[in-house]
């Protein structure tokens, strides 16, 4: 495939950018007061209002033409057909199959029976933990789950369990991801080993942080209950059954998922086990159903009203034509506090790439920095930068229509702020004092969930997954590998013996830095 910047549609878009250069969002609204309706679309019950993007009908036409020239429709078919879209690792990316009901083949083998089997095993186990049939070694029902895992093996379950806090009626889940001992200590503080189930989630079952925490958990449980308790207290969602067996887990404690499920796309698999235990398998199923509904619409909607595709295309417009280097996710829902971190991995680990699928350096910007926060607290922290900083960021506002708590006034105020912020970013103000002026013309999209429930959360996450995929198609990059994370891991394993006192050769900069750390470690 030719580089993006060589395509006629890209050049047409750049010419259009010049034609739009002096046009503000306010001018676009004055020109077409109906643009709200024309630029709002729906996917799986979620309404997405793009009317505060610096685009008009012509922009949409040119962006969808670009997507067609970059073979996005064919890319979508290829993805869902189970073809090896992860070209560098020779694997499909078929996480959608985990939430669907279709027979899909990988290397000529129908994987649906295996998906169904894994789903059923997970269902039976999660319900057994919830109703006390699966007990600890001393016969106690589990009151807590210690969920170990990092990156995609943690961020999704953490986000969903927090979001569904109001409906969580199973054992409480504590997460531990970091290899910082304080995080482990905090995670087990107040827990009783007799009533704690440990879930070790790791696709590879080799990730250092997770393995070190798993050994600490094992020591903690076995210290009280003996080694014989491991088989009652530890389970592992993983693709590496033999490593789980080496850890001492019987096969029935291992909840496998396929190699073609990428880590950051794995919450739909057995990695979601803590979710199913916390909120029940019925709600977990509704999360899958919401995501599946979004999949179906993504596959069938024309690009002109295809929500994930439009999120992707307006993102590319903002990034590559309008030069915005950062993208903020603003959750107007306290329980979505982990959404920015989740999307950070999804977008930045997928599309933070500098070469195309053929390995050629790209000559345009790919994934922006994804960041964000929970609102309204963020309004009292970083929104100043959004309104008056020297860099313009694009923003996604996440709004929930139905009240999330018991007090109506809170929700009314929350909604008023969500609407006010996107309006303020768009209109700005000029009171005649440069310190108080806000330039406005800053773009945003607002995604409105009818309700913060499992179905719409599933749909929301699937929409973002597909946004990432469409962007990767247009940019011509592979969204499904993450080789950039390897170098640091290799260097850390080289440095560890030095940290532990061995005399090993170090880069002078690292030797210098370790010297500082050692000196301060010895100080009071
Ligand atoms: O280091 C990056 C990464 O490989 C992520 O892609 C993944 O989600 C995370 O580490 C955890 O990997 P695993 O599930 O194999 O422990």
Tell me the pLDDT of the chain (524 aa) as tens digits.
Answer: 778 888 999 999 999 999 999 899 999 999 999 999 999 999 999 999 999 999 999 999 999 999 999 999 999 999 999 999 999 999 999 999 999 999 999 999 999 999 999 999 999 999 999 999 999 999 999 999 999 999 999 999 999 999 999 999 999 999 999 999 999 999 999 999 999 999 999 999 999 999 999 999 999 999 999 999 999 999 999 999 999 999 999 999 999 999 999 999 999 999 999 999 999 999 999 999 999 999 999 999 999 999 999 999 999 999 999 999 999 999 999 999 999 999 999 999 999 999 999 999 999 999 999 999 999 999 999 999 999 999 999 999 999 999 998 999 999 999 999 999 999 999 999 999 999 999 999 999 999 999 999 999 999 999 999 999 999 999 999 999 999 999 999 999 999 999 999 999 999 999 999 999 999 998 76
Q: Which residue, 482, 467, 152, 427, is CA-closest to 319?
A: 467
Nearest CA owner, ligand 1 atom 1: 485
Specify the 3-state DSSP secondary structure of 514.
helix
- In this structure, the residue with its CA closest to atom 3 of ligand 1 is 151
d(CA 113, CA 373): 40
Task: State pTM to two decimals.
Answer: 0.97
Residue 294: helix, strand or coil by DSSP?
helix
Element containing residue 155 per DSSP (H, E): helix 155-163
pLDDT in the model for residue 524 = 67
Backbone CA torsion sign across 180, 182, 186, 190: positive
Distance 65 CA to ligand 1 centre (A): 35
490 alpha carbon to ligand 1 midpoint, in Å?
14
- Nearest-angstrom CA–CA distance, 115 and 103: 10
CA distance 313 to 7: 15
> What is the C-alpha separation between 250 and 233, in angstroms, rounded?
11
Residue of 206, 207, 262 best suited for mutating to test ligand 1, as the one with most atoms within 8 Å of CB: 207
324: three-class secondary structure by DSSP = coil
- Using alpha carbons, select from 65, 26, 31, 25 the residue that is nearest to residue 322: 25
Task: Say how many Å lie between the CA of residue 279 and the centre of ligand 1.
Answer: 24
Catalytic residue among 209, 349, 375, 465: 349
Distance, in Å, from the CA atom of 136 to the CA atom of 418, rounded to the nearest integer, reads 46
Q: What is the pLDDT of residue 504?
A: 95
Gap from CA of 488 to ligand 1 centroid (Å): 13
What is the number of alpha carbons within 13 Å of residue 449 lying toward its C-beta? 26
- What atom in ligand 1 is closest to the CA of residue 153? 14
Q: Active site includes 203?
A: no
Run of H or E residues at 112:
helix 112-130
Protein residue closest via CA to atom 9 of ligand 1 = 151
Rg of the chain's alpha carbons, rounded to an integer?
24
Residues with CB under 6 A from ligand 1: 150-153, 202-204, 207, 210, 263-264, 349, 482, 485
Measured in angstroms, how far is the CA atom of residue 15 from the centroid of ligand 1? Answer: 41
Pocket test for ligand 1, best of 91, 93, 149, 152 (most atoms within 8 A of CB): 152
Reply yes or no on whether 304 is catalytic. no
Residues in CB range of 116: below 8 A, 6 or more apart: none
Closest Cα to atom 10 of ligand 1:
151
- Ligand 1 centroid–CA 207 distance in Å is 7
Choosing from 410, 489, 507, 512, the catalytic residue is 489
Ligand 1: distance of its center to the CA of 150 in Å?
6
Tell me the C-alpha distance between 125 and 133, whole Å: 9
Query: Is the CB of residue 166 less than 8 Å from the CB of residue 179?
Result: no
The Cα 33–Cα 151 span in angstroms is 43
> Ligand 1 atom closest to Cα of 264?
8
Residues ≥6 apart with Cβ < 8 Å to 111: 82, 94, 97, 104, 105, 258, 260
Residue 394's H or E segment, with its range, is strand 394-400
User: Residue with the nearest Cα to atom 4 of ligand 1?
Assistant: 263
Q: What stretches of 226-367 show up as alpha helix (H) in DSSP?
A: 230-233, 241-247, 273-279, 281-300, 307-316, 339-344, 350-351
Q: What Cα–Cα distance (Å) separates residue 303 from each residue in 15, 296, 519?
A: 22, 13, 59
Number of neighbours of residue 140 by Cβ within 10 angstroms: 15
Q: Determine the Cα–Cα distance for residues 10 and 19; give it in Å rounded to an integer.
A: 14
Say how many Å lie between the CA of residue 485 and the centre of ligand 1. 9
Is 435 assigned a catalytic role? no
Q: Which helix (H) or strand (E) holds 43?
A: strand 40-43
Of the residues 380, 435, 486, 519, only one is catalytic, namely 380
Q: Which atom of ligand 1 is nearest to the CA of 482?
A: 6
Hey, whose CA ends up nearest to atom 2 of ligand 1? 485
Nearest-CA residue for ligand 1 atom 6 is: 263
Instruction: Kindly give the interhelix angle for 486-499 and 508-521, rounded to the nearest 10 degrees.
Output: 50
Atom of ligand 1 nearest to the CA of 486: 1
Q: How large is the angle between the packed helices 307-316 and 57-69, nearest 10 degrees?
A: 100
Q: Say what the pLDDT of residue 4 is.
A: 86
Q: Alpha carbon 356 to chain centroid distance?
A: 22
Tell how far the Cα of 403 is from the centroid of ligand 1, in angstroms. 35
To the nearest 10°, report the CA torsion of 379, 385, 386, 388.
Answer: 120
Identify the sign of the CA torsion 414, 159, 80, 484. Answer: positive
Cis peptide before 52 (omega within 30 of 0): no
Residue to mutate, 153, 268, 348, ligand 1, most ligand atoms under 8 Å from C-beta: 153
């Amino acid at each position: 495939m030719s580089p993006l910047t060589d395509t006629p549609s890209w050049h047409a878009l750049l010419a259009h950018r010049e034609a739009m250069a002096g046009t503000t969002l306010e001018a676009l609204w004055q020109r077409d007061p109906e643009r709200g309706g024309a630029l709002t679309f729906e996917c799986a019950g979620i309404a997405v209002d793009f009317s505060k993007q610096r685009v008009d009908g012509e922009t949409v036409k040119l962006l969808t033409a670009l997507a067609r020239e970059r073979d996005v429709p064919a890319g979508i078919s290829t993805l869902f057909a189970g073809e090896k879209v992860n070209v560098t690792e020779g694997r499909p990316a078929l996480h959608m199959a985990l939430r669907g009901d279709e027979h899909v083949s990988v290397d000529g083998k129908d994987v649906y029976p295996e998906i169904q089997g894994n789903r059923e095993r997970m269902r039976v186990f999660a319900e057994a933990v919830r109703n006390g049939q699966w007990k600890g070694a001393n016969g106690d029902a589990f009151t807590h789950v210690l969920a170990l895992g990092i990156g995609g093996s943690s961020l999704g379950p953490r986000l969903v369990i927090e979001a569904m806090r109001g409906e969580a009626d199973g054992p409480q889940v504590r997460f531990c991801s970091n290899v910082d001992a304080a995080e482990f200590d905090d995670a087990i503080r107040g827990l009783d080993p007799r009533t704690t189930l440990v879930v070790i989630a790791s696709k590879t079952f080799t990730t250092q942080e997770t393995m070190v925490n798993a050994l600490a958990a094992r020591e903690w449980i076995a210290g009280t209950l003996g080694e014989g308790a491991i088989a009652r207290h530890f389970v592992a969602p993983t693709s590496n059954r033999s490593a789980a067996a080496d850890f001492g887990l019987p096969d029935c404690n291992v909840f496998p998922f396929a190699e073609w499920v990428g880590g950051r796309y794995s919450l739909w698999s057995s990695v979601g086990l803590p979710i199913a235990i916390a909120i029940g398998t019925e709600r977990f199923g509704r999360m899958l159903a919401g995501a599946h509904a979004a999949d179906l619409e993504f596959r069938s909607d024309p690009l002109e009203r295809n929500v994930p595709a439009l999120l992707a295309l307006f993102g590319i417009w903002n990034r590559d034509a309008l030069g915005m280097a950062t993208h903020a996710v603003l959750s107007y829902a306290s329980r979505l506090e982990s959404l920015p971190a989740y999307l950070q991995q999804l977008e930045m680990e997928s599309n933070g790439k500098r070469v195309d699928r053929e390995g050629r350096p790209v000559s345009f910007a790919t994934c922006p920095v994804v960041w964000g926060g929970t609102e309204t607290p963020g309004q009292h922290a970083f929104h100043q930068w959004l309104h008056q900083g020297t860099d313009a960021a694009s923003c996604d506002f996440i709004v929930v229509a139905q009240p999330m708590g018991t007090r109506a006034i809170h929700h009314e105020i929350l909604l008023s702020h969500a609407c006010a912020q996107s309006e303020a970013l768009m209109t700005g103000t000029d009171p005649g004092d440069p310190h108080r002026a806000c330039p406005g013309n800053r773009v945003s999209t607002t995604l409105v969930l009818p309700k913060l429930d499992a179905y719409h959360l599933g749909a929301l996450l699937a929409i973002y997954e597909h946004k990432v995929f469409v962007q990767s198609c247009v940019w011509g990059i592979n969204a499904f590998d993450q080789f950039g994370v390897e170098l640091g891991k290799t260097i850390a394993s080289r440095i560890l013996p030095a940290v532990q006192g061995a005399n090993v050769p170090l880069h002078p900069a690292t030797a210098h830095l370790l010297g500082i750390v050692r000196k301060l470690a010895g100080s009071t």
